[in-house]
Amino acid sequence: MTERKIAYVITLIFLVLGGRLFQLQLIQGNELRRLSEENRLQRIKIPSPRGVIYDRNGIPLVENMPYYCVILLPEAADTVDIESISELLGVSKEDVQKKIEDRKPFEPIRLKERLSMKEVAFIEARLSDYPGIQIEVDLARHYLYGDVGAHVIGYLGKLNPEQAKSPGLKDIPAEAFIGQWGIEKLFDDILRGVPGEKIIEVDALGRELRVVGEVPTVKGKDLHISIDIQLQKEAETAFGNRAGALVALKPDTGEILALVSRPSFDPNLFAKGISPEDWLRLRDDGRFPMLNRALQSQYPPGSVFKIVTAISALEKEAINLETKITCSGGLTHGKWSFRCWKKAGHGTLSFHDALVQSCDVYFYTAGRRTGINSIAEYARELGVGSPCGLELVKGEKPGFMPDENWKIKAKGQPWYQGETYITSIGQGYVLMTPLQVARLISIVANGGYMYDVTLILPEETPKPIKRLNISQKTFEILRNALWGVVNEPGGTAHSARSKIVEIAGKTGTAQVRSSKAGSASGRFGDHAWFTAYAPYENPQVAIAVLVEHGGHGASAAAPIAKAAIEAYISRHLKAGEDE
């Protein structure tokens, strides 16, 4: 190669290098400097303490409790002795291996949580033999009342893969817990607070060199809900081990004072990450403890629906206070027989006595005179067939109210008179949730005002969403009869009669499948209902109780409602005396 050619090659090399230098320094310089700085400085998100949830009287329902966990520093992840660590922590090698493989860059790897003090002492004594292993203290939710109110308060969990894709949750620290159910989920963004941040300098291998800055966490806001935790406890105690639901409302505001769903679960199981064994136990429990029966289950309302039939019949003037009908234990329509629960019959009854004694024949007749479409009209006005709109969780069941048009569209068949009979006493196609029944009796108690049901403690006195187009005369007749159900001789709810407070209410016994009354048992046994309000003259609480397969409403559901009402009213009477 001649000297001239060599000079050309050298010049070309310098031109290429110079061009590349120009590109790196002047064109991409700022971007490359930014990337270099980001590689040297790493930001680690720190979960913030969650806000506290209080009941309506300022009693805390949860708190943040410190707990211990074992972490592995990221710089030791590639050199750690997995077998030795698994023996130290008492966890499988596969579990340790997976957590190391799933780690996020520069973030400590949590190898084990929920350490007991005995485990902390054991591991701390051996830390010098395990470089990269540390014990850290974090905050976990502690639910002060265990399974009491669990379906309202909810529980926490780590981000699931679907949530991790949500733009609103992209800044959540990897180890943070977020609300997954109930109030914890509904108000997670308020309770969660603002995560903190630790800025660390790392070397080329990603090992932490020093902490260069920290942004403190901002604790989540506290929240006050409408639940009265004392009433909630008393109601759940009265329920015992039976399955079912109870909803207690303030009839003049729509605030929920207690919402029980039994069986329940302990949200503390989720507070530090639920174990696979506990999750499988809850998931496979045939009594479905994770189901919120108060609003996610719908049942035939049985005789509590006679309140709806009564309103429609009185408003349509199909009957009046003096209308008398004779019950001889049943009636026939064509080839079909429709029995009264009292085989011997009630004799000749007025409306008042018919509701007090819950005579089926009287309400078969009242329903026939009114017609299914008119019953459906008033049922829907009273909220049957529509969700109550409780903000708690998705999946609230709407209940169901049939009519002639529905039957034609859904089944291609006409509506039969016999279907009006059974609908009039709350059987057949009609379905309601315990929450809807509580709102229904609340409307009766307050004289026709419908409120939004809510778990949030309002800052101002709520206003009704509507005034129902039902006369005060109808409500007066109905309330007087509901008082008689509990307090008059022959009333079906004598078991709810109280020496402390005057209670008005209605029993219901809903057949699960066709059978002779009272003959079915176990999973085919009748559902027991009772709905009530008190005090009679100045209602302060409206309540609905449903005991699954509990048998008769008077014996299974009414005593639960009575216990809860008496406890609530007694406390208010005492508070009044103390003022």
Active-site residue set = 303
DSSP, collapsed to helix, strand or coil, labels residue 115 as: coil
Distance in angstroms (rounded) separating the CA atoms of residues 90 and 476: 69
Distance in angstroms (rounded) separating the CA atoms of residues 273 and 99: 14
Q: Residue 193 corresponds to which tokens in the numbers above?
A: 């607070």
Q: How far is CA 294 from each of CA 195, 248, 258, 262, 388, rounded to the nearest angstrom?
A: 35, 11, 11, 9, 11
Nearest Cα to 560, choosing from 548, 577, 571, 572? 548
Q: How far is CA 365 from each of CA 177, 454, 528, rounded to the nearest angstrom?
A: 58, 37, 24
DSSP string computed for 510-547: E-SSS-STTT--GGGSPEEEEEEEESSSS--EEEEEEE
Q: What element of type H or E holds 558?
A: helix 558-578
Q: What share of the chain is helix, strand, coil (3-state, %, to 5)?
A: 40, 20, 40
Q: What b/e string do you get for 459-477 counting C-beta neighbours within 10 Å, with b at 16 or more?
A: eeebebeeebebeeebbeb
User: Helices 82-89 and 93-101 meet at what angle, rounded to 10?
Assistant: 120
DSSP state of 556: I
- Residue 162's φ and ψ, nearest 5 degrees, are -70, -40
Q: How far is CA 154 from each of CA 173, 188, 241, 271, 391, rounded to the nearest angstrom?
A: 21, 11, 20, 11, 13
Q: Residue 292 corresponds to which tokens in the numbers above?
A: 């919120």
Question: Does residue 49 have a cis bond before it (omega within 30 degrees)?
Answer: no
- Residue 532's φ and ψ, nearest 5 degrees, are -155, 170
Answer for the pair 177, 17: CB distance below 8 angstroms, yes or no.
no
Determine the straight-line distance between the first and last CA of the chain, rounded to whole angstroms: 111
How many other β-carbons are positioned within 10 Å of the β-carbon of residue 77?
16
Distance in angstroms (rounded) separating the CA atoms of residues 451 and 382: 11
Distance in angstroms (rounded) separating the CA atoms of residues 322 and 314: 11
